[in-house]
Amino acid sequence: MTDPIELAPDYYLSNFHALLGFVVARYADLLSDGERLFYDRFHGLDADSQRLYVRLLSRKGVPSSCGALFRQHKLDYGEIAKLPFAVERLVTVGLLQRNPDLPLPEILPLFTKSELFANSPEPQPRSLNRPALEQALLEQDRTQIRRSLERDEPLLAVQSAEHFETFKLLFFGNLNQDLTDFVLRDLGLFRYEQYPLEQDQLPFYSRAQIEQYLRYYECLREAESALVASADDIVALASALPAGIDSDNTLHRRLDRLRLTLARQLERLGALVEADQLYARCTRPPARERRARIAVANGDTTAALALCSEILTAPHHEAERSFAEGFGYRTAKKAGTTEGWAAPDRHKPPTQTVALTQAAERVETIAAHYLAQQAPGNQCFYVENSLFNGVLGLFVWDILFAPIPGAFFNPFQTAPSDFRTPDFFSQRRGAFERRLAAMDTDVFHTRVWQCYRDKQGIANPLVHWDALPEPLLSLALERVSTNHWRALFRRLLSDIAHHRSGLPDLILFPAGGGFELVEVKGPGDRLQQNQQRWLAYFAEHTIPHRVLHVEWQP
């Protein structure tokens, strides 16, 4: 067992400097005057003042209109030797504000319930809960209460947090991540692939683009309250969204995702006209599907069928095409106009039903034991989505982490930013096609094994190392033909977001050679649509497969 990694007491300061330095080195020309001033002020501080500021900036605090609030007497950090001096320095340079002029309701949450009782000018019943106690205090002399609470108790409000938000955005490419990623790396809990982060490959290139991202995240925060409010509030928020940047697909994807969320809630509220208008502004699924459903709900069969035809002409992915085929046919049938519409074909996979003894193990494990025992030498593994995704991840590792412009924001990405989007394949189409075309058995096996050994433990969105033991990989490469691997890879790569799930639970390696993919269904379980599509694809490419229905013996 390796010794645990110990971080320096002020590890967070080193990480903070690394983040700021990364951004300034690459995006200095895009920073505002306020952001540059924030950077200069911070760098002009002594180490203790820097440590205190990063500590407070990383903590939640009590939110207020002047910034996150803290009580100075509650602050205690062993690595900060002269905390009062650090506070003075931060106040002097404007990175902290002491005793900000705030309304009493914003200050009360800083204090415990006992402290509020003790500072009430009039005695309060001890049975009061906190909201009732705060209300009782607000009905008294607020000036007296505030003076009592702040007596010998400086309150501190963190300043310039909004500037650090911009630095985080430019480093991470989003406002969901934070300095925790540095810690996970430093502790050895995550290992990341090394990919170049050169100036011409970075995703941000204009101040207008940055402002649109920041506005998007403001709207995302506002959506939390708008979604539980009225349809008018949702429409107002949707109209406040930024327009997006033509060459920035990442921002367009995020805006579409939020529009889809807002439009879906409008549907639930019965605001179908407004929902349809918002869906019409979205370019990604399931916008056209929802519009077709709204059209049917409004009795407009013609519009619904037109949308289904539009999807079939240029589907975004298989799931959207499958919807248009089924929904279009059912809609046309109800309207009595089935000309040009046919019932979708349904692949009927080979199916077997067996009665097994129920145990504490999951049904897939019980089924794997059953199949392995059917003949001496049979081997059966529970793989679900891990085997074929994992081998693909090993085979195209270098392409996955290739320095495509806009794909990588920072050193802590387990995947390119477009990994779960249609852009992932289209932007690398040439490289993928060349790799698959030159995929003979020796080259394929050599590349997979070399990557398996060289990259062991490094994060990859397709490779789950614990689920890809060497004996399984060795047997799979030996038994599955290169043509079958190629067919599986083509479908996975064509729509990685949807196709990397729905694969069969088990792979059976019969004693006599070959392999078979087995989807296990326990009592009451049914095939999902993505599983049905995979089974149909197996039939099309002569990949051995079956569905095993398990019933429990009495």
Cα–Cα distance, 311 to 403 (Å, whole number): 33
273 falls within a domain: yes
| Confidence bin at 1 (pLDDT 50/70/90) | very low
If asked whether residues 21 and 165 sit together in one domain, one would say yes
Kindly report each contact of residues 523-526 with a partner whose C-beta sits within 8 Å and lies 24 or more positions away, as own/partner.
523/550, 523/551, 523/552
Give tens-digit pLDDT for 194-221: 998 887 788 999 999 999 999 999 999 9
436 falls within a domain: yes
If asked whether residues 182 and 207 sit together in one domain, one would say no
344 falls within a domain: no
69 falls within a domain: yes
If asked whether residues 244 and 363 sit together in one domain, one would say no
Cα–Cα distance, 477 to 473 (Å, whole number): 6
Task: Reply yes or no on whether the pLDDT at 9 is more than 60.
Answer: yes
Q: Which domain holds residue 461?
A: 351-552
Counting residues of the chain whose pLDDT is more than 70, the rounded percentage is 99
If asked whether residues 203 and 147 sit together in one domain, one would say no
If asked whether residues 118 and 163 sit together in one domain, one would say yes
If asked whether residues 295 and 383 sit together in one domain, one would say no
Task: Reply yes or no on whether the pLDDT at 2 is more than 60.
Answer: no
If asked whether residues 445 and 476 sit together in one domain, one would say yes
The pTM of this model reads 0.89
If asked whether residues 215 and 269 sit together in one domain, one would say yes
Tell me what the mean pLDDT of segment 469-498 comes to: 97
Residue type, 432: F
Tell me what the mean pLDDT of segment 366-394 comes to: 97
Task: Reply yes or no on whether the pLDDT at 238 is more than 60.
Answer: yes
The domain total for the chain is 3
341 falls within a domain: no
Could you tell me the two tokens for 59?
Answer: 């903590």
Residue type, 80: I
402 falls within a domain: yes
Cα–Cα distance, 406 to 413 (Å, whole number): 12
Give tens-digit pLDDT for 126-139: 989 999 999 999 99
Do the Cβ atoms of 67 and 157 come closer than 8 Å? yes
Q: Would you state the pLDDT for residue 58?
A: 93
If asked whether residues 435 and 508 sit together in one domain, one would say yes
314 falls within a domain: yes
If asked whether residues 171 and 206 sit together in one domain, one would say no
Q: Where is the domain boundary, 186, 212, 236?
A: 186
If asked whether residues 29 and 169 sit together in one domain, one would say yes
Give tens-digit pLDDT for 437-449: 999 999 999 999 9
Q: Which CATH number do you get for residue 222?
A: 1.25.40.10
Q: Where is the domain boundary, 125, 152, 186?
A: 186
If asked whether residues 399 and 533 sit together in one domain, one would say yes
Residue 489 CB burial class (10 angstroms; 0-12, 13-18, ≥19):
buried
356 falls within a domain: yes
Report the mean per-residue pLDDT for the chain.
94
Q: Where is the domain boundary, 186, 219, 246?
A: 186
Query: What Cα–Cα distance (Å) separates residue 116 from each residue in 109, 125, 132?
Result: 10, 12, 11
